[in-house]
Amino acid sequence: MTHFNPTRRGFVAGGTSLACTLAALPVFAQSGAAKLADDSLMLWYDQPAGPWIEALPVGSGRLGTMVFGRPAQERLQFNIDTLYGGGPYVQDNPKFREALPQVRALIDQERWKEANDLVSEALMGKPIKQMPFSGAGDLLLDFPGVKAAARYRRSLDLDSAIATTQFIDGSGRHRRETFCSVPDQVTVIRLEIEGDGAIDVDLGYRHPDYQPYGGFGDTKYDKDGVVFVGAPWDHREPLNAEKRPGSLAVRADGSDALLIEGRNVQAFGIPGQLRYALRVQAVGDGRIEAVGDRLRVRGARQLTLVVAGETSYVNWQDTSGDPVAAVRQRTAAAARKPFAKLRDDHLKAHRALFRRLNIDLGGREANARTTDARIKDVPRQPDAALAAMYVQYARYLLLSSSRPGSQPANLQGVWNEVLHPPWEGKYTININTEMNYWPAGPANLGECVEPLLKMVEDLAVTGARTARNSYGARGWVAHHNTDLWRATAPLDGPLWGMWPTGGAWLCTTLWQQYQYNPSPAVLRRLVPLFKGAALFFLDTLIEDPKGRGLVTSPSSSPENNHHADIALCAGPAMDRQILRDLFDAAIAAQAQLGEDDPAFTAAVRKARARLPADRIGAQGQLQEWLEDWDASATDQQHRHVSHLYAVYPSEQVNVRDTPALAQAARKTLNTRGDESTGWATAWRLALWTRLGDGERAYKVLQGLLGPARTYPNMFDAHPPFQIDGNFGGAAAILDMIVQSWGGEVHLLAALPKAWPTGRLHGVRAHGGVEVDVDWQAGSLTRVRLRGPARAGVTLRHLGRSVAVKLDARGHARLSASDFAAPT
């Protein structure tokens, strides 16, 4: 991280007179919320952000903003959740259906190169890539009067969802707050000064094409991890107007507002069809004027900027919206509210969800150190409080990037700096999108799943087209990626894209989330999705030529080769495992809704019974493929552990019911190794947790929390940034304490010795039950349950299973003695 140097250019020479002036300034009046801020929920730093991965994120689901906290020139980088490249398009390859039987025959004959070549030519989508999630540019706030800063602090309070920058200079004491309001759908920037000075600021916009590919600043690697080299605190970044594309317009929109209009990029041959707009409106006690493409404020003591962003996206086939009208309406409405009202409305909306869960793992004294220092020292200095904050940070990120009415959280949530991010920043549905939602249920944020459900409903429409045109099948299918336009064809090439089970995994994810928040209204939406996904496989599963049952073909075990340069196969373990869960969910959801279709149910049961069982290979490992190819796979430490889906997030393989398969999964994990990319480390953590090995899980967690896999702002480092590691890691930490599977709630199932005393309150279990757990010296002390009145709950602890019935209020209390063995 950039080092703050208070002696850099412009610092007032008379140190004594400056100190006297500052000492005379009053302390800022703080709200009750600020006074009661919990330091265990505070990311804080004594330096401004240099590169992007040091900036702090705020978001409302639809709008994301990165706050750099620079005194002399603040940078606020924006995202709009629907600002993707291209426009509505059909990706299905017209050669697919005719070539499919030949591809299957070549796979059966193990003529791998010929099969690979034919898939590349005839089955891959056109274009072979999907559309990128693009940045919406920067607002740069130049403060000509700020020449130096002291007593600097910037922070992100997870409980208030407010990023704050504070410092003092020769003109006074500065305080800046930034938050994204869900009720008002605007980013709010509040600037205040106390002392003899005033706020003078010039605001301008910079298009994201200014940023180089990647956009994460200069990086280098050393033995301790990744070191980021960024701009000094007083560096002023250029607006760089000469690089703006011709479709961009920045102009005054009244005497107190600036309007930015642009068009999205063409991508992979698909013309840009979206218009977007940002509008910033200023309210304050100084002189405010919009001059050309700048907003100028002079002599203010307090200033509020409200910023709205929108695109012309209506849905995946309609781009006729009016973004200018939308941003004008939102900023005008927000600007009419007093700042205190904007802030209070924001706090109520955020805390209504965020405050449902509390976690304390001890070690709170570490909160006195800056967050970046704590991350850097994790390998040498374990930090239990940082693990607890990692959970709350992930909850904060999910609340900020996935709200009803927004798009789902993508590879980067809703935060991306560039026009064309790594992997297009889209939805990778062979693990990453699903992992984004692993914590939603247990972390008590069921509302955040709504955007994912809505996306799957869209995919059921576009995927039906792909199923019909490419496979000649009923139902719907989605392969390993999708985007804003809900493309469902295979892409990227045979290694990555020829995997037909992405839509099925999204369905099982929705079913798993439903267990935490059962709802008849949601169930009615799930049944047709599950039925359509199941129908596709009823039509496309084929007989294994060696008589082992029904298999998918062509497919792959995501992104892993079983022989050099060959991923294509039939019936990989992950496909079979996902289909077992999909078929079970399709039957169970239909039965719960009371809409049984006997013919469909019978067909699904028959197909499920003919899926090949999981196998243990010659090395004692859980086989990744139908054949025992694991030893010949070219990457024994591959990041994907696809065939362990059965362990987590599924529960087909577990320590209670399938001990031999669980032992084979341990063998596989040992071979794979603990160190991997960010999200893959999180998956390994979840797997060891579900296998009940708290000490091994803790070891993996230390690797995830350290500087090699966590950036200074606590974003997950793939590298580069991918948000799935944050979400997967948080879900796994919760699972170390409370697990829901097999009809039971497992308490302290993988608690490591490093967390001897702690509490987890408000974690959610299957059946819509909330659980409070307290423990001391590694032993359970108290359990409280809240859920549906008279509901039955089965708890497991120390090898004992205890049946509990909630009372008429839906409550129950237990102590350690309730789990003691009878004498």
Instruction: Please count the other Cβ atoms lying within 10 Å of the Cβ belonging to residue 461.
Output: 14
User: Mean pLDDT, to the nearest integer, of 416-429?
Assistant: 94
Which residues is 814 bridged to in the sheet? 783
Question: Is it the case that residue 422 has pLDDT exceeding 70?
Answer: yes
**Amino acid at site 785:** L
What angle separates helix 520-540 from helix 450-466, to the nearest 10 degrees? Answer: 30
| Four-CA torsion 575, 577, 579, 582, nearest 10 degrees | -140
Token pair listed for 163: 């990023």
How many other CB atoms are there within 10 angstroms of residue 332's CB atom? 15
Residues sharing a CB contact under 8 Å with residue 50, sequence separation 6 or more, in sequence order: 1, 2, 217, 228, 229, 230, 231, 232
Look at the block and give the residue holding tokens 């972390």. 443
pLDDT confidence of residue 219: 38
CA distance 126 to 269: 10
pLDDT classification of 570: cutoffs 50, 70, 90: very high
From CA 795, how far away is CA 45, in angstroms rounded?
Answer: 42
**Which of residues 225 and 460 earns the better pLDDT score?**
460
Examine the pLDDT at 441 and tell me if it is beyond 60: yes
CA 337 to chain centre: 32
Return the structure tokens found at 62.
């639809």
Q: Which helix (H) or strand (E) holds 178?
A: strand 172-181
Per-residue confidence (pLDDT) for residue 762, from 0 to 100: 98
Taken in order 158, 437, 708, 180, is the CA torsion positive or negative? negative
Q: Is the pLDDT of residue 210 over 90?
A: no
Counts for the chain of helices (H) and strands (E), in that order:
19, 31
Q: Tell me the pLDDT band of 10, cut-offs 50, 70 and 90.
A: very low
CA within 13 Å, CB half, 296: 8
CA–CA dist 621, 670 (Å, integer)? 10
* 8-state DSSP, 408: P
Report d(CA 521, CA 283) in Å as an integer.
43
pLDDT tens digits for 293-343?
999 999 999 999 999 999 999 999 999 999 999 999 999 999 999 999 999
- What is the pLDDT confidence band of residue 756, given thresholds at 50, 70 and 90? very high
Q: How many CB atoms lie within 10 A of CB 623?
A: 22
> Do the beta carbons of residue 178 and residue 280 sit within 8 Å?
no
Burial class (CB in 10 A: 0-12, 13-18, 19+), 565: exposed
- What is the pLDDT averaged over residues 531-551? 97
CA distances from 109 to 103, 105, 365, 396, 813 (A): 10, 6, 63, 51, 61
CB 815 within 8 A of CB 783: yes
pLDDT at 230 over 50: no
CB atoms within 10 A of CB 757: 15
H/E run at residue 578:
helix 573-593
Per-residue pLDDT at 148? 85
| Nearest C-alpha neighbor of 448 from the set 741, 767, 689, 182 | 182
Going by C-alpha positions, the residue among 516, 625, 639, 513 that lies closest to residue 577 is 625
Look over the chain and give the mean of its residue pLDDT values, rounded to a whole number: 91
CA angle, residues 798, 803, 809, in degrees to nearest 5: 125
SS3 509: helix
User: Is 673 strand, coil or helix?
Assistant: coil
Instruction: Judge whether residue 213 has pLDDT over 90.
Output: no
In terms of Cβ atoms closer than 10 Å to its own Cβ (0-12, 13-18, 19+), residue 454 is middle
Residue identified by tokens 């989330």 is: 513
> Which residue in 87, 152, 94 sits closest to 123, CA to CA?
94
Q: For residues 65 and 79, what is the distance between their CA atoms, to the nearest angstrom?
A: 6
- The answer to whether residues 67 and 190 touch, using CB atoms and an 8 Å cutoff, is no
* 614 contact partners, CB below 8 Å, separation of at least 6: 573, 576, 577, 622, 623, 643, 646, 652, 653, 661
Residue 235 confidence (pLDDT)? 59
Q: What is the pLDDT of residues 252-287, one digit of tens each?
A: 999 999 999 999 989 999 999 999 999 999 999 999
Buried/exposed code over 223-233 (b: 16+ C-beta within 10 A; e: otherwise): eebbebebbbb
Q: What is the mean pLDDT of residues 572-600?
A: 96
Length of the chain: 823
The three-state (H, E, C) secondary structure of 8-40, written as one string = CCCCCCCHHHHHHHHHCCCCCCCCHHHHCCCHH
Alpha-carbon span 256 to 291, nearest angstrom: 9
Is the separation of the CB atoms in 613 and 631 below 8 Å? Answer: no
User: Which DSSP symbol is given to 710?
Assistant: B
* 286 exposure class (CB count in 10 Å sphere: 0-12, 13-18, 19+): middle
Fold observed for domain 15-84+132-357 = Beta-galactosidase; Chain A, domain 5 (2.70.98)
- Confidence band (pLDDT; 50, 70, 90) for 632? confident
Residue with tokens 């919320």: 33
Nearest residue to 466 via CA among 741, 89, 46: 89
Closest of 767, 773, 775, 682 to residue 724, by C-alpha: 682
Distance of alpha carbon 372 from alpha carbon 570, whole angstroms = 46
Q: Dihedrals φ, ψ of 704, to 5°?
A: -70, -40
% of the chain exceeding 70 in pLDDT: 91
Per-residue tokens: 613: 């069982």
The residues, ordered by sequence, that sit 6+ positions from 237 with a Cβ below 8 Å of its Cβ are: 73, 75, 138, 140, 206, 231
- Tell me what the mean pLDDT of segment 526-546 comes to: 98
How confident is the model over 107-116, as a mean pLDDT? 96
Going by the DSSP 8-state scheme, the letter that residue 576 receives in this structure is: H
Q: Phi, psi (5° rounding) for residue 4? A: -80, 130
CA–CA separation, 695 vs 736, rounded Å? 10
Measured distance CA(462)–CA(315) in Å, rounded: 12
Would you state the structure tokens that stand for residue 119, as one six-digit string?
């898939």
Query: Could you please report the per-residue DSSP string of 300-361?
Result: ESEEEEEEEEEES--BTTB----HHHHHHHHHHHHHTS-HHHHHHHHHHHHHHHHTT-EEE-
Q: Tell me: pLDDT of 546 over 90.
A: yes
pLDDT of residue 246: 65
Domain ranges of the chain: 15-84+132-357, 102-126+446-653, 758-819
Tell me what pLDDT residue 11 has: 23
> Same CATH topology for 15-84+132-357 and 102-126+446-653?
no
Instruction: Supply the DSSP symbol for 467.
Output: I
Domain 102-126+446-653 has CATH 3.30.420.40: no
Least confident of 15-19, 551-555, 807-811: 15-19
**Cα 491 to Cα 489: distance, rounded to the nearest angstrom:** 6
Is the whole model's pTM more than 0.85, yes or no?
yes
| pLDDT at position 61 over 50 | yes
**What does the pLDDT read at residue 379?**
83
Report which residue type is found at 197: G
Q: Pick from 686, 658, 520, 659: which is nearest to 592 by CA? A: 520
pLDDT of residue 3: 30
* Tokens of residue 452, six digits: 């994912």
Nearest CA to 211 among 417, 421, 425?
A: 417
The DSSP symbol for 47 reads: S
Query: How many CA atoms, within 13 angstroms, populate the side-chain half-sphere of residue 325?
Result: 4
